Amino acid sequence: MSKHPVNVRARPPAATADYRAVLKQALQSHQAGDLDIAERLYNDVLELRAGQPDAMHYLGVLCHQRGRSDEGMRLIEAALKITPRHPDAHNNLGNIHKECGRFGDAERCYRKALACGPQHYNAQNNLAVVLEAQERLEEAFEAYATLLRQAPKFAQGYYLMGMFLRNHAQSMEHVEQSVECFRTAYALDARNVRALESLGMSLYALHRLEEAAQVYRDWLAREPEHPVPRHMLAACGAAEAPSRAADDYVREVFDAFAESFDEQLLKNLNYRAPQVLAEALGERLPSASGELDILDAGCGTGLCAPLLRPYARRLVGVDLSGGMIEKARLRGGYDELQEAELTGYLQAQPSAYDIVFSADTLVYFGELQAVLHAAHDALRSGGWLAFTVEVAQGEDERIDLSPSGRYQHTRRHVERALSSAGFSRVSIGHDTLRKEGGQPVTGWVALAQRTPGH
């Protein structure tokens, strides 16, 4: 959906207008994110020249961006009937399949794009991503390697190869190679700061924490206001940890994550926090009655929505990252989405919810007291809070900010924070939430009730 208000009325198509000029305007509006205007102009082109393949193709892309993926696919397929050797159209059709999780169909489209244009780097890149998503790792590695051979100056190619090597590392040598890839990606394109963040993460995986800290220090020297190196320097133990991740850090990280959401999601197939938490909650709820008011707290791209929907009369998602909210909106399933900081949002919702559900979000909070107190007051009497956080080992009451950038809590900290917020019927299980660097990450799976009658 367009972030820009529509305040410019596009000219209606004059009978004599040149469709090419209107198409050019449509493409400019589309690139600028003015989707309302772009959609109208593509339709104007199609009125002027029925079946114009470029207008159909890009209107198809736009329909998908607006959540109308089936319509988008039909339009691109129609365009391809007219211009069957159009690599961009095959590539964009592949992207729709990929984002809808149909990796086999996406692969076929990318291969067609490459058959039409063997130097189509994006198609090669996308082919590698969907092969990886299908766990065909050797083929994926070959596809990334082909990309780097064909486009040795393509920073994103090195970045993706680095991510592949680290995510599927079979030995420390692969992680070391990822370090080289991220360094090259950053050297080729200094705007690629995600390569720097990933470089720090690989160094951390190699236990070279001081080098990781130096990457963040250098970055901070160049960009003193940048929230990511500020947070990550603290995560490496080289600066004082904040009591929770700063709002600008969360926005920066997750807006960027939302951009590459499909790519990241595909690689984190082992992410299970939503399912694990929903199963634990399901044991406490009588049935999927569709009668509850539910808050998905830190909803991200909306992965939890289909798990919560059967219980919900009203399902609200709240998240600090506008990019993630936008993805959740496209995915659908919520009655309402709010871009807001969680504690502040909860404080403004007294006794509004039957369930507050938070998967993998309180890992960005160190001190849990304030947010759990706010969650308690946002629940109705007898309502349930369900959340996951990562495990810090030990019997003491402790919070660690890990070099991953996420906080870890000991069981005792979670118990104390829940009881001081006023919860009862507390249960804290543990389960694997995801993998990091090939290793399972264990989390606390916590459930607690606002005491009935209170």
For ligand SAM, the closer CB: 155 or 245: 245
**Shortest distance, position 399 Cβ to ligand SAM, whole Å:** 15
**Shortest distance, position 254 Cβ to ligand SAM, whole Å:** 4
Specify the DSSP element, H or E, that contains 375. Answer: helix 369-378
**Shortest distance, position 360 Cβ to ligand SAM, whole Å:** 4
* CA–CA distance, 124 with 110 (Å, rounded to integer): 7
CA-to-CA dists, residue 129 to 5, 151, 181, 271, 335, angstroms: 34, 16, 17, 17, 32
**Shortest distance, position 247 Cβ to ligand SAM, whole Å:** 6
3-class secondary structure for 159-220?
A: HHHHHHHHHCCCCHHHHHHHHHHHHHHHHHCCCCHHHHHHHHHHHHHCCCHHHHHHHHHHHH
Positions that interact with ligand SAM (CB under 6 A): 250, 254, 273-274, 298-300, 303-304, 319-321, 324, 341-342, 359-361, 364
For ligand SAM, the closer CB: 27 or 256: 256
| DSSP secondary structure code for residue 85 in this structure | T
**Shortest distance, position 299 Cβ to ligand SAM, whole Å:** 6
Characterize the bridge pairing of strands 312-319 and 399-401: unpaired
For ligand SAM, the closer CB: 236 or 303: 303
For ligand SAM, the closer CB: 300 or 443: 300
268 contacts 434 by C-beta, under 8 angstroms: yes
**Shortest distance, position 177 Cβ to ligand SAM, whole Å:** 27
For ligand SAM, the closer CB: 59 or 325: 325
For ligand SAM, the closer CB: 424 or 439: 439
Q: Which residue matches tokens 């529509």?
A: 6
For ligand SAM, the closer CB: 61 or 295: 295
177 C-beta neighbours (distance < 10 Å), count:
18
Which residue's Cβ lies closest to ligand SAM?
Answer: 300
Specify the DSSP element, H or E, that contains 432. Answer: strand 423-436
**Shortest distance, position 304 Cβ to ligand SAM, whole Å:** 5
* Measured distance between the N- and C-terminal CA atoms of the chain, rounded to whole angstroms: 42
**Shortest distance, position 233 Cβ to ligand SAM, whole Å:** 19
Characterize the bridge pairing of strands 336-339 and 423-436: unpaired
Structure tokens at 32: 């600028």
DSSP characters for 268-323? TTT--HHHHHHHHHHTTSS---S-EEEEEET-TTSTTHHHHGGGEEEEEEEES-HH
For ligand SAM, the closer CB: 305 or 448: 305
For ligand SAM, the closer CB: 141 or 271: 271
* CA–CA distance, 30 with 18 (Å, rounded to integer): 19
For ligand SAM, the closer CB: 212 or 441: 441
253: Cα within 13 Å, side-chain hemisphere: 22
**Shortest distance, position 7 Cβ to ligand SAM, whole Å:** 30
* CA–CA distance, 349 with 376 (Å, rounded to integer): 10
Of the candidates 349, 357, 358, the one whose C-alpha atom is nearest the C-alpha of residue 378 is 349
For ligand SAM, the closer CB: 114 or 315: 315
**Shortest distance, position 221 Cβ to ligand SAM, whole Å:** 27
**Shortest distance, position 332 Cβ to ligand SAM, whole Å:** 15
* CA–CA distance, 278 with 267 (Å, rounded to integer): 22
